[in-house]
Structure 1
Amino acid sequence: MLKRPAAKSEIPRRTGRRILLLIFFGVLPGAAGILSMMKGSVSIPLSEIWSVFRGGSAGVHEQILWNIRLPRTIVAALTGADLALSGAILQAIMKNPLADPHIIGVSSGAGLMGILIMLAFPQFGWLITPAAFLGAMGAAVLIYLLAWKNGIQPVRIILAGVAVSAFFGAGISALLIFYSDRVHNALMWMVGGLSARSWPHVDLLWPYTLAGLLLALPAARHLNVLQLGDELARGLGLHVERTRLFLTAVAALLAASAVSVVGLLGFVGLIVPHIARLMIGSDYRFLLPSSVLLGAAVVMFSDTFARTAFAPVELPVGIIMAALGAPFFLFLLRREL
């Protein structure tokens, strides 16, 4: 049965609704950031936060805000934006609604290289991000090659991703055994957490986030064309494989930058694009910026909850995301397969 084409009057209405949703998504990171700066072992009133930003002094609270909470909040926002955008891109280019940097092994590739530098060559800590990028890119290309057989099928992507993730996971386990005297930091990094993240981490992360945004957002039109199928996309003049390779590199860069700073934080790239898609639709001109804003908000809210829910014990945010993401993944798995 053919669907009735949308009436001309419906198109502006739909676009207006999407713009309103984008504005709403834009407010969420601000609210999450304020809550993150207010809540913790020491509560800071909103009036004092406002006073500090205006140049006033709030004593000890000012030191806590500038040196601990603000950089941690910014790292959380950048990490959430990177992973959510990476997940949205991977779901489009791999034609798989279950694709996620963590689930299909891209983060595992980045994690293997990051842990290799961290344990075997700790004096070269500045190499973690570029090494993680190479690992993430290698994992993405390997998964794509293994899943390719006269086209890409969602089930093959999942199976190839599970296999590649298991392979890289074995490599990570081997490194932890070989360097058992240095595993504490690596174990915390594997869980995914924002503890002790400060301004140097912000300086490390924001250039990759900016580069990823500048490369990914203008490519939304290409992602829309890819959803029409490879043959039709070629007929419309799109270089399909070249586009996929370029966007795979962008997704790998985003995932690797986040992994290099906060560790193997999973499920952000799975949950956030789906929530955004359910609310704003599948037009990537709106879906990509929605994923960025919603991803930043989700990680900031989750980190605030992880810091305060079981005080004085602080949970890594990765535990919270896994608790939210695993049931959501099973729901999607049952619905899609």
Structure 2
Amino acid sequence: MNAKTRNFIVFFAAGALLLASAFLALRLGSVPLSSAEFWGGMLQKEGYETYTAIFYSSRLPRVLGAILAGVAFSQAGTLLQRVTDNPLASPNILGINAGAGFAVLLLLVCFPLAYAFLPLAAFLGALLATFLILGVARSAGMSRAVIVLAGVALSALFQAGISFLSVVDPDALSSYIDFSVGGLHGVKTEDLLFPAVLILACLVASQLLSKKLALFCLGDTLAGSLGVPVKRVRLMSLIAAAASAAAAVSFTGLIGFVGLIVPHTARALVKGNMRGELCLSPMLGAALLLLADLLARTLFAPTEIPVGVFTALLGVPFFLALVLRRKRHV
């Protein structure tokens, strides 16, 4: 089987998985809908007002949110792993998520009733973490190693700040816990408008950078000799990854490991095809979060489990396996 045929099959299967996941997520939940209730609610038929409310007020916003967040986190992970040449790089490992968490807890400590501003605080905190990483990295020539080390160091710093604020105001910690474990409950369609625009813009930007990013595997020196403006492409990729992750964190909270697991899966399926990897990774990420959110809603219904619990159950063993494999190759 040639590469073109193989890639067609892979993308067809990924598309089918995404559509099936979205359909199941719309149909199932703590209140499963029969075929008549599902179609009656979706088409807003008379006599199905209750199911119309369930569909448009609860199910559809969650499905759209899961798709957007899955696209954002997986896209961010793909870009970060490529520009740092580190298979362990992801938004939560490099401190982007920790920056968002610190900003949210700081807001809760200073303004305990400012819940409406939590998404904005998360977004700005993630961007702050990114700009700090970029500031350190640019002072050292935008090298791969410095980006990773700066991200890990800042993540530890933000975690220390979170611990300090938790001691200062234990009441704020109880409100912060919901954000820290991540989830899509309470997401409204209007909450997704700005994140959707930003995530899609970053998706387009990553595609425009894909040809140059493909040469990063050759190393900075050789890629530069082939005409790639290495520092500029790395900077633009980091900004796109951070903006994408920040937009998702603003409405999901700290859902981890999607940006770690999915890029590796996509890379294994479309070997040596950077553009294909940047297209496949968001599709798989969206499907993963749709299924994780579906399990969160249905497994112990009517009690809902945070989505971040399911992604962590997948991600922690995956992370440890990567570390052990990397150690064997050293």
TM over 0.5: yes
Equivalent position of 1:131 in the other structure? 124
How is 1:1-337 mapped onto 2 (pairs within 5 angstroms)? 13-57=2-46, 58-121=48-111, 122=114, 125=117, 127-128=120-121, 130-141=123-134, 144=137, 151-153=143-145, 160-337=150-327
List alignment gaps of at least 5 residues for structure 2: none
TM-score (norm 1): 0.88
Bigger mean CA offset, 309-318 vs 84-93: 309-318
8 Å contact kept, 1:111–1:135: no
Task: Mark the CA change 1:142 to 1:71 in structure 2 (over 3 Å): closer, same or farther.
Answer: same
| Deviates further, 314-323 or 34-43 | 34-43
Letter in 2 for 1:282: G
- 2:96·2:127 contact (CA, 8 Å) conserved in 1? no
Question: 1:54: how far off?
Answer: 3.8
Larger displacement relative to structure 2 (89-98 or 221-230)? 221-230
* Residues 242-280 of structure 1, C-alpha deviations (whole Å, 9 max, x = no match): 111111011010111111111111000000111111112
Partner amino acid, structure 1, of 2:6: R
C-alpha RMSD over aligned residues: 2.4
Measured at CA, do residues 273 and 139 of structure 1 come closer, stay the same or move farther in structure 2, by a change above 3 Å? farther
Contact 1:132–1:259 under 8 Å retained in 2 = no
- Residues 98, 123 of structure 1: alpha-carbon distance in 2 compared, 3 angstrom cutoff: closer
Q: How far did residue 160 of structure 1 move?
A: 4.8
TM-superposed CA distance for 1:34, in Å, is 1.1
Mean Cα deviation higher: 169-178 or 233-242? 169-178
Instruction: State the number of aligned residues.
Output: 323
2:100–2:121 contact (8 Å) kept in structure 1: no
Distance in 2 separating the partners of 1:144 and 1:235: 22
For residues 101 and 128 of structure 2, the distance between their equivalents in structure 1, rounded to whole angstroms, comes to 8
Q: Per the alignment, do residues 239 and 116 of structure 1 end up closer, same or farther by CA in structure 2, a change over 3 Å counting?
A: same
Query: Take 2:135 and 2:260, find their aligned partners in 1: how far apart are those partners?
Result: 20
CA distance in 2, matches of 1:100, 1:312: 32
Aligned partners of 1:22 and 1:143: how far apart in 2? 38
* Distance (Å, rounded) in 1 between the aligned partners of 2:142 and 2:49: 65
Secondary structure at the aligned position of 2:144 is classed as: coil
The Cα shift of 1:33 comes to 1.1
Go from structure 1 to structure 2 and tell me whether the alpha carbon gap of 1:162 and 1:202 turns closer, same or farther (over 3 Å shift): same
Q: Is the 8 A contact 1:106 1:139 kept in 2?
A: no
Contact 1:114 1:131 in 2 (8 A): no
Match of 1:5 in 2: none
Q: Is the 8 A contact 1:98 1:158 kept in 2?
A: no
For 2:255 and 2:86, the matched residues in 1 are separated by 20
CA displacement 1:12-37 (0-9 Å, x = unmatched): x2022112211221222211111111
Quick check: 1:71–1:199 contact (8 Å CA) kept in 2? yes
2:104 touches 2:176 (CA, 8 Å); kept in 1? no
* 15-24 or 315-324, which deviates more: 15-24
Question: 2:133–2:150: 8 Å Cα contact kept in structure 1?
Answer: no
Q: How far apart are 1:66 and its partner, in Å?
A: 0.7
What corresponds to 1:7 in structure 2? none
Deviations 1:147-171 (A, max 9, x none): x699535xx7665544321211111
